[in-house]
Structure 1
Amino acid sequence: MIDKKHIIDRFTSYVTIDTESDPKSESTPSTEKQWDLANKLAEELKELGLKDVSIDKHAYVMATIPSNVPHKVPTIGFVSHFDTSPDYTGKNVNPQIVENYDGKDIILNKEKNIVLSPDYFEDLLQYKGQTLITTDGTTLLGADDKAGITEIVSAAEYLMQHPEIKHGDIRICFTPDEEIGRGAHKFDVKKFGAEWAYTMDGSQIGELEYENFNAASADIKVHGKIVHPGYAKGKMVNSMYIAQDFINSLPRFETPEHTEDRQGFFHLTQIEGKVEETNMHYIIRDHDKEHFEARKKVMLDLAAEINGQHEKEVIEIEIKDQYFNMREKVEPMMHIVAIAEEAMKSINVKPNIKPIRGGTDGSQLSYMGLPCPNIFAGGHNFHGRYEYVPVESMIKATEVIVKIAELTAKKYA
């Protein structure tokens, strides 16, 4: 159905364009280089014959695969992001093609002795005999989420070339800055005009997700007092020790490395300190809304308790909500999950319905009025040198998009 070489060529043409986003930038997109791929995608969609192709001043690319049925069908959408994570460099990506993977170690970089091994990454073994695309060990790959973009463009191309497959209007959108939490911030839901959508931004084949973390950030400033250490008794206040007390007072095993499934956590992502001042950044995550609110209160109460042990306030804490669990918005429309599940089963993909231990554009879009579950894009080990994607998974994801379009039209016939 979907040509393998065509998928590989399209994907590699996208990942070799550097689109790393920058959390320190206040512009949208956060880096100018994201325009390179955004403009390429807009032109490609025009060449494929899609309608209403647009690219706005913030680099959001939108287009329509027009309906080819006489009856009214809800307009649905598919969304992916073209930026890559600033966690690891996306410059000079050199994708490697591994044909007929034999289940053994893959040498990513012989010179630097960088090996992708199933002894550590056990998921590799489920792809024996398939074609893998890996990094060369010096960059990330960018399957998050250029695999999703590849799949959406390829599905659009297939539907335009096969009018015998009946479907309603299908909207697609490619967004900047998802990796820094801003992918939906300037998404024009009204312009998009879909009743619901799917982000193609999951990991391994079969994933189907409509739950994600509730998320907040916490910025903590600890104030100390510096005096000469030789004369410090009763006078010096070391902010780093106070910060250490704060860290050690949080539940030790409620951190990312000790949690899974729906378990939430506190995660210290950054700390920088001197005697006079220490700054810490935390992220707070939980699927359960009550537990999420309780976690925020734990941090606020702890700051108040430590402040009460000192003559002056030594801790300032600011907690900001980032996004919420989309389950609340998707559950009233569970038929949209059921359609995706049926689409997977019809092409012999076993659905793996589970919560996301993170967030996607879809979580924010759901709260903006666009219910938006998440579907697998196929990649593994995102945001680092061990990232890879099986080509067969991208082909299946493309087929899922086509089948969702077809099933939606049938259900509303």
Structure 2
Amino acid sequence: MNELVQRFLRYVTFNTQSNPNNLECPSSPGQYTFAEFLKQELIELGLADVSLDSNGYLMAKLPSNVAYEVPAIGFVAHMDTAPDASGENVNPQFIEDYQGGDIALGKGDEVLSPIQYPELHKLHGHNLITTDGSTLLGADNKAGIAEIISAIAELIAHPDIPHGDICIGFTPDEEIGRGANLFDVEKFGAQWAYTIDGGPVGELEFENFNATSADVICYGTNVHPGTAKDKMVNAMNIAAQFQLMMPADETPETTQGYEGFYHLKSAEMSVARSELGYIIRDFERDGLEKRKTFMEQKVAELNEKLEKGRVELRLTDSYFNMKEMVEPHPHIIELAKEAMIACDIQPQIKPIRGGTDGARLSFMGLPCPNIFTGGYNFHGIHEFISIEGMEQAVQVIVTLAEKTALRYQ
């Protein structure tokens, strides 16, 4: 498994931070550079049908080693890292045999504390990889890539482990919601797949939010403040009124589990025009529609109070709950559970309070639940991963390939 860690360390040297302001695909040049590196690695492993298209989608296949027919399955991970924190000049730190307490990150004052992150209490004795406190780590999702490739290498090295066709797909721009936009499901060739993009060991997810983005545009009238009496309409005040109409107890910081929310994620403010950017989330389609209707009602109330046309709402559906597409195929989840249990891992089935490539792919005809990587605190400078967790992810992938082949024997 040392090669697993070495792979991961090589991968995090690539700055693959996606750029939401660039409409090209991939949205940053580092992603394509990384994809070219991975393409060569897959070729050297001896995989078949290795291809990298101009948009940065990398695919390959490990051919079946059994004489009978087994459905082709896939494993998917994304190459980009989140825009929330820098992914440049990542400098990983090793914490060997962690025994508790604070972990100092780099030379500054940043600390990884079990008080803030109590999951550290469950990782005593683990070997951890952290950041140096100045960047994210990139375990989301380069750990997934390293785990998939290491599992494929394990299957190649042990031809006695039966498996059908194993399809591999690495995507760009997942972190900005575009990872599945140009994914060629037919070319990929799998009947179902798994994203290796989860967190702690045991996570198995086939439910995610239904998601809509909502832009609230407030139009004001700008007049010199010295002569503004009865003339100026300050769009920032309108925006503030609208935000106060949103339920204070239905936000990300006040909800958990299956509870949905409204999240004000951005604001561009000026007197003449102010824009609020929201994301709306709900696990039920009806719940999402009710939330959208609620926002429409509040816009109508403000326009009636102020002046028609002062507030505009733009709603854009982003993705839907993959449960609708995965539940009709229960064997996909059962196989993943069997593989985890065979690896002495207790499956932790939980909803994703977010979205993944798997959600979009599921609605494109490729049912695609999500499996753990062993990482924590994604998208920020406190990100870290357990090496033992990464090793277990590799074991699950290998066992899942084997279990699938044996089921169809």
Determine which of 78, 81, 94 is the counterpart of 2:78. 81
Residue aligning to 2:45:
48
Q: Which amino acid aligns with 1:239?
A: A
Cross-structure match for 2:13? 16
What CA deviation, in whole Å up to 9, does each residue of 1:120-141 have, x standing for no partner? Answer: 1111111111110000110000
Partner of 1:169: 165
Distance 1:272 1:56 in 2: 36
Is 1:208 aligned to 2:208, yes or no?
A: no
AA matched with 2:185: V
AA aligned to 2:392 is K
Measure the CA separation in 2 of the matches of 1:18 and 1:6.
21
CA distance in 1: counterparts of 2:299 and 2:346, whole angstroms: 47
Q: Which stretch of the first structure deviates more once superposed, 44-53 or 219-228? A: 219-228
Unmatched tracts of structure 2, length 5 or more? none
TM-score with structure 1 setting the length: 0.98
1:306-345 CA deviation, whole Å, 9 max, x = no partner? 1112333101110000000000000000110010011000
Q: Say which SS state the counterpart of residue 393 (structure 1) adopts.
A: helix
The CA RMSD measured in Å over matched residues stands at: 0.9
Is the partner of 1:278 in helix, strand or coil? strand
Q: Which amino acid aligns with 1:88?
A: A
Structure 1 gaps of 5+ residues are none
Matches within 5 A, 1:250-329: 250-329=246-325
What is the CA-CA distance between 1:365 and the residue it aligns to?
0.1
Match of 2:27 in 1: 30
Tell me the distance in 1 between the aligned counterparts of 2:106 and 2:258: 36
- Aligned residue identity for 1:371: P
Amino acid at match of 2:164: G
One-letter identity of the residue aligned with 1:38: A
Deviations 1:95-151 (A, max 9, x none): 1111111112111123x2111111111111111111100001100000000010010
The equivalent position to 1:347 in structure 2, one of 339, 343, 353, is 343
Structure 1 position 228, deviation (Å) = 3.1
Q: Does 1:62 align with 2:59?
A: yes
Question: Residue 144 of structure 2: SS of its match in structure 1?
Answer: helix
- Alignment of 1:151 with 2:133, yes or no, is no
Cα distance in structure 1, aligned partners of 2:218 and 2:189? 47
Q: Which amino acid aligns with 1:183?
A: G
Q: Distance in 2 between matches of 1:231 and 1:26?
A: 42
Deviations 1:144-195 (A, max 9, x none): 0001001000000000111000010010000110000000000000000110
- Corresponding residue of 1:362: 358
> Displacement, 1:229?
2.8
What stretches of structure 1 move > 4 A for 4+ residues in a row?
none
* Aligned equivalents of 2:277, 2:41: Cα separation in 1: 41
Q: Map 1:99-114; keep pairs closer than 5 Å.
A: 99-110=96-107, 112-114=108-110
* Number of equivalenced pairs: 409
Distance in 1 between residues matched to 2:116 and 2:306, nearest whole Å: 48
Q: Paired residue for 1:229, among 221, 225, 228?
A: 225
1:189-208 matches, cutoff 5 A: 189-208=185-204
Corresponding residue to 1:243 among 239, 242, 245: 239
Q: Distance in 1 between matches of 2:330 and 2:7?
A: 33
> How big is each residue's C-alpha offset from its partner over 1:201-252, in whole Å with a ceiling of 9 and x where there is no partner?
0011100000000011011110111223343332221111111111111111
Alignment match of 1:94 (pick from 91, 95, 116): 91
Distance, in Å, in 2 between the alignment partners of 1:190 and 1:162 is 29
Equivalent position amino acid for 2:99 in 1: D
**In the TM superposition, what is the alpha-carbon distance from 1:76 to its structure 2 partner?**
0.3
What is the match of residue 137 of structure 2?
A: 141
* TM-score (structure 2 length as normaliser): 0.99
Identity %: 54
Q: Which residue of 2 aligns with 1:399?
A: 395
What's the secondary structure of 2:14's corresponding residue? Answer: coil
Distance in 1 (CA, whole Å) between partners of 2:307 and 2:44 is: 69
Distance across 1 between alignment mates of 2:305 and 2:112: 50
2:376 corresponds, among 360, 380, 398, to: 380
